[in-house]
């Protein structure tokens, strides 16, 4: 009586990696082995409680010892054997699918051995269908159902097609653990999977809004914040400033000292922005060596104070990989107004101020 799978769809069961993709293949195998482990745990549970159903029918039938030995092997040996077979296979995910097919075939055989006793037979067939749907949907269900029906028909033919549909109360009672425990286990596995997927989706969303080099908000999130802040200004009438920052002569830094030093300079600017800005401010990497900072409820005078603090700390930055390198930055800011056509106009105003700072000799703030 073979019930027991992951009880949850597992997108990690993918085909083997192609040669030359060792890192990807290694990670893929680890994910497939994780699937095999979850399958083992639920297979142990399913077989443990499911064997009670079959055992209750065998007892009422006065079954010979051979059937009891087969049931014990199926219930207690098969889960471990299935885990070993899948774990040693070159493609654990594919091997586990074969194990699922074997589960269905053995389930069909036990239905015939029970002479189609109505409640346990329907319960086994249903549970076997539920876990196949949860793992692979209709394709897996169709293949496993064919094996279940074929094994049931062949076993029944070998036994002379015996049929005893009546389900006595002792058998009903023996079916209750499977009826209760296994669906709960599947639900738990599904909940666990949904939680993992939700966490990963959250990470992906964060990665899509974060600059990988500096850890700041990326351009996309920065533009969203500019638009959101401008809408707030229009609603409340409160002031807000937008600051643009450019690392002076950044191309020369890259050309003279190399891109690793350039990356270190950008990370230093990002760290200074995080340190100097308030919790309500939003610094982001706008692109290349340009940074943008949204400053809610701040006028250009406040932006000037912040800009001077940023400029001084950046000038004091010392790069270990490039001794003697002195970095400076140009900064420009524009205050929002309710009459602005949109966020693009606000950004253009800050960018124009930044351009004036660079034209005036760099290493300064202009509003």
Within-domain flag for 214:
no
Which tokens is 20 given? Answer: 């030359």
Determine how β-strand 282-287 pairs with β-strand 290-296.
Answer: antiparallel
310 shares a domain with 225 = yes
Within-domain flag for 312:
yes
Specify burial of residue 237 (Cβ count, 10 A radius: 0-12, 13-18, 19+): exposed
pLDDT for the residue 15:
39
Q: Which of 149, 172, 207 is the last residue of a domain?
A: 207
Q: Which of 179, 207, 235 is the last residue of a domain?
A: 207
253 shares a domain with 298 = yes
- Has 281 been annotated as catalytic? no
The whole-angstrom separation of Cα 234 and Cα 214 is: 31
Q: Which of 91, 131, 248, 289 is catalytic?
A: 289
Strands (E), the chain: 240-247, 282-287, 290-296, 329-335, 365-366
pLDDT for the residue 3:
55
293 shares a domain with 344 = yes
Tell me how far the alpha carbon of residue 292 is from its chain's centroid: 30
The whole-angstrom separation of Cα 366 and Cα 354 is: 7
Residues in the chain: 367
223 shares a domain with 187 = no
The whole-angstrom separation of Cα 151 and Cα 144 is: 11
The whole-angstrom separation of Cα 300 and Cα 302 is: 5
244 shares a domain with 175 = no
The whole-angstrom separation of Cα 224 and Cα 252 is: 31
Say whether 280 sits in a helix, a strand or coil: coil
183 shares a domain with 50 = yes
Within-domain flag for 15:
no
CATH code, domain carrying 316: 3.30.70.270
Say whether 363 sits in a helix, a strand or coil: coil
Tell me how far the alpha carbon of residue 115 is from its chain's centroid: 45
243 shares a domain with 287 = yes
User: Can you give the pLDDT of all 367 residues of the chain as single tens digits?
Assistant: 445 444 444 433 343 444 444 445 567 888 889 889 888 988 888 888 889 999 999 999 999 999 999 999 999 999 999 999 999 999 998 999 999 999 999 999 999 999 999 999 999 998 888 878 877 788 889 999 999 999 999 999 999 999 999 999 999 999 998 888 777 877 776 677 677 777 776 666 666 788 989 999 999 999 999 999 999 999 999 999 999 999 999 999 999 999 999 999 999 999 999 999 999 999 999 999 999 999 999 999 999 999 999 999 999 999 988 888 999 999 999 999 988 989 999 999 999 999 999 999 999 999 9
Neighbours of 204 (CB within 10 A): 10
Q: Which domain holds residue 246?
A: 219-366
122 shares a domain with 30 = yes
Which tokens is 207 given? Answer: 């990665």
Within-domain flag for 178:
yes
149 shares a domain with 230 = no
Sign of the CA dihedral with 310 first, then 316, 319, and 322 last = positive
φ, ψ for residue 360 (rounded to 5)? -85, 0
The whole-angstrom separation of Cα 352 and Cα 45 is: 68
Determine how β-strand 329-335 pairs with β-strand 240-247.
Answer: antiparallel
141 shares a domain with 201 = yes
The whole-angstrom separation of Cα 319 and Cα 259 is: 13
Within-domain flag for 213:
no
291 shares a domain with 246 = yes
Domain count, the chain: 2
Q: Is the separation of the CB atoms in 241 and 307 below 8 Å?
A: no
Q: Which of 167, 185, 207 is the last residue of a domain?
A: 207
271 shares a domain with 203 = no
Specify burial of residue 54 (Cβ count, 10 A radius: 0-12, 13-18, 19+): buried
Residue ranges in 209-248 assigned as alpha helix (H): 219-236
Within-domain flag for 2:
no
Within-domain flag for 1:
no
The whole-angstrom separation of Cα 15 and Cα 330 is: 53
Within-domain flag for 6:
no
Specify burial of residue 279 (Cβ count, 10 A radius: 0-12, 13-18, 19+): exposed
The whole-angstrom separation of Cα 180 and Cα 53 is: 13
This prediction's pTM: 0.54
């Amino acid at each position: 009586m073979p019930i027991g799978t992951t009880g949850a769809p597992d997108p990690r069961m993918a085909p083997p990696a192609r040669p030359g993709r060792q890192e990807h293949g290694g990670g893929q195998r680890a994910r497939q082995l994780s699937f095999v482990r979850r399958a083992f745990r639920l297979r142990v549970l399913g077989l443990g409680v499911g064997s009670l159903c079959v055992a209750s029918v065998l007892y009422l039938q006065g079954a010979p010892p051979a059937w009891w030995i087969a049931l014990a092997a199926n219930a207690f040996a098969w889960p471990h054997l299935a885990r070993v077979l899948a774990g040693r296979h070159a493609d654990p995910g594919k091997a586990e699918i074969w194990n699922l097919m074997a589960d269905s075939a053995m389930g069909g055989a036990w239905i015939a051995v029970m002479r189609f006793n109505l409640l346990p037979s329907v319960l086994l067939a249903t549970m076997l269908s539920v876990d196949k749907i949860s793992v692979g949907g209709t394709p897996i269900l169709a293949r496993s159902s064919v094996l279940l029906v074929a094994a049931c028909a062949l076993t029944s033919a070998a036994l002379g097609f015996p049929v005893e549909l009546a389900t006595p109360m002792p058998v009903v009672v023996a079916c209750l653990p499977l009826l209760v425990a296994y669906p709960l286990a599947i639900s738990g596995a599904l909940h666990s999977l949904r939680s993992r997927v939700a966490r990963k989706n959250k990470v992906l969303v964060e990665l899509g809004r974060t600059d990988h080099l500096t850890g700041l908000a990326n351009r996309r999130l920065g533009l969203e914040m500019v638009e959101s802040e401008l809408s707030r200004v229009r609603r409340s009438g409160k002031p807000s400033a937008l600051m643009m920052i450019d690392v002076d002569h950044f191309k020369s830094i890259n050309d003279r000292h190399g891109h690793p030093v350039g990356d270190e300079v950008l990370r230093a600017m990002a760290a200074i922005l995080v340190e100097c800005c308030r919790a309500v401010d939003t610094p982001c990497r706008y692109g290349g060596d340009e940074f943008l900072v949204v400053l809610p409820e701040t006028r250009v005078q406040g932006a000037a104070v912040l800009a001077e603090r940023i400029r001084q700390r950046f000038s004091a930055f010392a790069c270990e990989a490039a001794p003697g390198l002195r970095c400076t930055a140009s900064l420009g800011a524009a205050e929002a107004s309710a009459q602005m056509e949109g966020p693009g106009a606000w950004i253009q105003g800050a960018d124009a101020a930044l351009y004036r700072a660079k034209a005036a000799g760099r290493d300064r703030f202009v509003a």
